Amino acid sequence: MQQPSTTSSSVDHYRELTLRGMILGALITVIFTASNVYLGLKVGLTFASSIPAAVISMAVLKCFQGSNILENNMVQTQASAAGTLSSIIFVLPGLLMIGYWQGFPFWQTTLICAAGGILGVIFTIPLRHVLVVKSTLPYPEGIAAAEILKAGDHNQPIEDTNDGETPQSGVKQILTGSIISGVFSFLAGGLRVISESASYWFKVGGAIFQIPMGFSLALLGAGWLVGIAGGIAVLFGMFIAWGIAVPIFTSLTPMPAGVEMIDFAKGIWTAKVKFIGAGAIAVAAIWTLLTLFKPMLEGMKLSFQAFSGNGQQSQSQDRVNQDLSPKTMILIILATMIILLATFYGFVASAPISVGLACALVACATFLAFIIGFLVAAASGYMAGLIGSSSSPISSIGIVSIVIISLIFMAIGQSNGVFSLEGGNQFMTALALFTAAVVMAIATISNDNLQDLKTGYLVEATPWRQQVALIIGCIVGAIVISPVLELLYNAYGFTGAMPRAGMDSANALSAPQATLMTTIATGIFSHNLDWDYIGMGVILGVMLIILDIVVKRVRPGCCVPPLAVGMGIYLPAAVNMPIFIGTVLSYFCMRHIKKRYSDPQVQERELKAVDRRGTLLAAGLIVGESIIGVLLAMVIVGSIALGKGESPLTISLSNWDEMADLLGLALFIAAIVILLRKIMKK
């Protein structure tokens, strides 16, 4: 078990939860929340913000007297909420897709995000002693963040393990990635003089094939963080979709007169192949949870024991053992429950149902959010310690949660005649999605909280102060999410939900998880899921699970993640390709380092340095493109308000399409070369 490397006396006098730290943490949270919301809506991925936040904090606070490792830890703890709470976008856009919301009401959106996030913090506090202090769980992100903080601690002697990297160099790497991707994104999405993607289409008989390419540097950065196994699985999913399924369906389906080949193929993929991907994702999600069933039960067991007082070992009153008091936690839980009750009542108040039924639905929704949230909080916290926050199957939990909640609400609606009312079906579907959003907020923060507490344990932080910092991060992040969602929706629209008639759906944000969960919920309430293609996906998912098991046994250490294959089928090919390229770059960089250095100690040091530079540059790529996307959204919304159209910055050039594709490809390759030189520098 990894233990703290400093002595208690060396850090006891350090200030931790400071005003300047909270302000800096809030600013970083705002930036990273906006970035994660944009990236999540575009491709269904979010990035962990702890390490970039720690690097920025160390560089900024070093300019102030008295800054220290514990203050930096509080900043990264607060900012880590940005990479987790923003995952609520995997559900909320569904309310617009079904037509129940026309925008994102600020108070309803903010309150469920804040309440769910705070409950996620509170539910995992009793697990800290047993799952962090007394556990051998690896906590990969938590330990990595602690190592970054130790390496940049200017109050301690510089150790050989810091690879010569400094907080300042880390900030330069984040800024470099941000500038490169920001410029590229402005040229592509603002001026539109280069393409964001290009594909080669061809027919063999009646079968239509696509060789795709995407030029998003943010997705390239996301690929670096995903890893080669996930990249290969995504590529395999693309091949199934565009090398097998679409060609077969297009060869068997007559192409209507007057329809372009590309539009016909995309229509087939949307109407049929995406449902196959959805079926595969659903099976893979359930399988992922089943494989972690034992640790999930263990997490729930420990959580019940901790809350009941059984199994909770006596703790000293040392600073490093002080969590929020039980009285404080109970008061916070009661306050959040009141907020949830009020928010749910505000949500159902306009429904054409009796007051009694409205109160019953409010009580049921609050109870389901609380109970399911408590169970998934324990499970998510344990899984995060076991396999890491980035690998924890949050999407799987979301899918299973929406199924359970939808089935319960369907039974209630049928027994009370809600579905016979006008708009009753839409209302119950919306309520199920709204309730699932709370569960997702709880799960995502629970997934993050124990990682942060592990980091704090290794650097000897005060637990209750970290818990307060994360609650602050949840509140700040919740305040940011609603206006950012509103802005992006009005500027780009979502797949299946456009704010204005005549908008170009090609520019819409796909919101893949929200689309999937909305499809599942709508299908359950309407009894009209397209089971033929979903059934094909289920069968495919079972085959992928078997393949994954065989590969793991034949080649230990290798795998074919079924969930990633399903996402490869479900997401647009132009989105998947840069993710795959990013995973390949990461793999070959690490492999090159292993070949270059034979000495094990030198090799390990260089691998850490390359991984750190790559991670920070990747975070910069994501932040740069995402921030430009948000800023362009502001410009677009302002332009529409002034009656000047949706493309105010576009430079119209005649016969430029082919040149835009070539320029996009050339700049994408140039960016890769620049990034590789910075990652692999000696």
Q: What is the CA radius of gyration of the chain?
A: 25
Please check whether residue 157 is in contact with residue 338, taking contact to mean a CB–CB distance below 8 angstroms.
no
Q: What is the pLDDT of residue 547?
A: 94
534-568: per-residue pLDDT in tens?
889 999 999 999 999 999 999 888 888 888 898 88
457-515: per-residue pLDDT in tens?
888 888 889 999 989 988 988 998 999 999 999 988 888 888 888 787 777 888 888 88
Q: What is the pLDDT of residue 53?
A: 80
Q: What is the pLDDT of residue 287?
A: 82
The two tokens of residue 211 are: 């060789």
Q: Which residue has the tokens 């994104």?
A: 185
Q: What is the average pLDDT score of the chain?
A: 83
Pairwise CA distance, residues 582 & 495, whole Å: 25
What are the Cα distances from residue 73, in Å, to 120, 146, 153, 455, 463? 20, 8, 11, 8, 11
Find the range with the poorest average confidence among 24-28, 231-235, 314-318.
314-318
More confidently predicted of 161 and 76: 76
- Residue-by-residue DSSP string for 633-664: HHHHHHHHHTTS-S-TT----TT-HHHHHHHH
Q: Which of 92, 117, 141 is nearest to 497 (CA)?
A: 92
Q: Which of 277, 272, 195 is nearest to 512 (CA)?
A: 277
Q: What is the pLDDT of residue 539?
A: 94
* Mean pLDDT of all residues in 39-49: 74
Q: What is the pTM of this model?
A: 0.79
Pairwise CA distance, residues 234 & 227, whole Å: 11
Pairwise CA distance, residues 19 & 54, whole Å: 17
Pairwise CA distance, residues 377 & 329, whole Å: 15
Find the range with the poorest average confidence among 119-128, 152-161, 452-461, 572-581.
152-161
366-417: per-residue pLDDT in tens?
999 999 888 877 777 766 666 556 555 576 677 778 888 999 999 998 898 8
Pairwise CA distance, residues 38 & 237, whole Å: 24
Q: What is the pLDDT of residue 144?
A: 73
